[in-house]
Structure 1
Amino acid sequence: MEHTVSDIDALVREEKRLTAVESHNEAWAEGLSAGIEADIIAEAALETAFCEMLRANGETAALALLDRMREKVIAGAFGPDQVRH
């Protein structure tokens, strides 16, 4: 089976995403084990993410990410029954 450049790019992006999820899960677990409440960890993670988005891509990209995440929350994408990976 032959892969196109866009197929390979999509596979690389997904592998990077999964690696990022794994790293974040480890950091989350470390924070919890250090006695930090989940809401504090979540807020710090979101602040870091948006600061980086603003720095790297500007306000429009950060606001677009915020809009996508809001729509996912409304759609129930982060509910307890949803697979995270």
Structure 2
Amino acid sequence: MEHTASDIDALVREEKRLTAVESHNEAWAEGLSAGIEPDIIAEAALATAFAELLRTNGENAALALLDRMRDKVIAGEFEEDRRCH
């Protein structure tokens, strides 16, 4: 089966996403083991992410991500029983 450039790009992007999830999970676990409360870890992670996105892509990209994440929360995509990695 021959893959298009778009297929390959999608595979690479998914591999990067999975690697990022793994890295964040490790950092989260380290924070918890250091006695940091989950809400503090979450706020720090979001602040870091949005600061970097603002720096590299601007306000519109950061606000668009915020809107997408809000929609996912409302849709229940982050509920414990729906989590898939």
TM over 0.5: yes
Long gaps (5+) in structure 1: none
Long gaps (5+) in structure 2: none
Question: What amino acid does structure 1 have at the position aligned with 2:83?
Answer: V
TM-score scaled by length of structure 1: 0.98
Change (3 A) 1:20 1:80: same
Cα distance in 1 for partners of 2:84, 2:71 equals: 16
Aligned match of 1:45: 45
Question: What amino acid does structure 1 have at the position aligned with 2:15?
Answer: E
Aligned match of 2:4: 4
Following TM superposition, by how much is the alpha carbon of 1:82 offset from its aligned partner in structure 2, in angstroms? Answer: 1.1
Aligned residues: percent identity?
Answer: 84
Aligned match of 2:28: 28
Following TM superposition, by how much is the alpha carbon of 1:83 offset from its aligned partner in structure 2, in angstroms? Answer: 2.0
Give SS of 2:80's match: coil
TM-score scaled by length of structure 2: 0.98
Cα distance in 2 for partners of 1:84, 1:74 equals: 17
Following TM superposition, by how much is the alpha carbon of 1:84 offset from its aligned partner in structure 2, in angstroms? Answer: 3.5
Cα distance in 2 for partners of 1:29, 1:7 equals: 33
User: Aligned residue pairs: how many?
Assistant: 85
Following TM superposition, by how much is the alpha carbon of 1:15 offset from its aligned partner in structure 2, in angstroms? Answer: 0.2
> Once superposed, what is the RMSD of the aligned Cα atoms?
0.5
Structure 1 segments of 4+ aligned residues over 6 angstroms from their partners: none
